[in-house]
Amino acid sequence: MQAQAAEAEQAGTDAVLAGYRRSIDNIDAALVCMLAERFRITQAVGEYKARAHLPPADPDREARQIERLRRLAEDADLDPEFSEKFIRFVIQEVIRHHQRHAAAEAEAG
């Protein structure tokens, strides 16, 4: 029995762990889809701002977003520091997209 348990552990076939991992995989799929949708919207925002001659970055808006997500994180028992790191990570990627877009436009023009 002990040898079997050790084997199950080594093979990663532990049923409890497998159950947790299915939940994690489902959540990760949802996160990736949500991020994909978020970037679809920020791409539309980038195009709209360029047409409307609005500045690409808005530091006040970013500060409000960070504060709001810290509060939501606290309510959900998530470390607000991590929440802030996460949204900064995403915003950085959005800025990188905008820069790539602007560079492509400049090249085309």
Positions touching a second copy (CB under 8 A) are 9, 12, 14, 16-17, 20-21, 23-25, 27-42, 44-45, 48-49, 52-54, 58, 60-61, 65, 68-69, 72-73, 76-79, 82-83, 85-87, 89, 93
Structure tokens at 101: 């877009």
One-letter amino acid identity for 94? V
Q: How far is the CB of 79 from a second copy (least distance, A)?
A: 8
> What is the distance between the alpha carbons of residues 6 and 105, in angstroms, rounded to a whole number?
59
Among residues 29 and 105, whose Cβ is nearest to a second copy? 29
- From the CB of residue 96, how many other CB atoms can be counted at a distance below 10 Å? 10
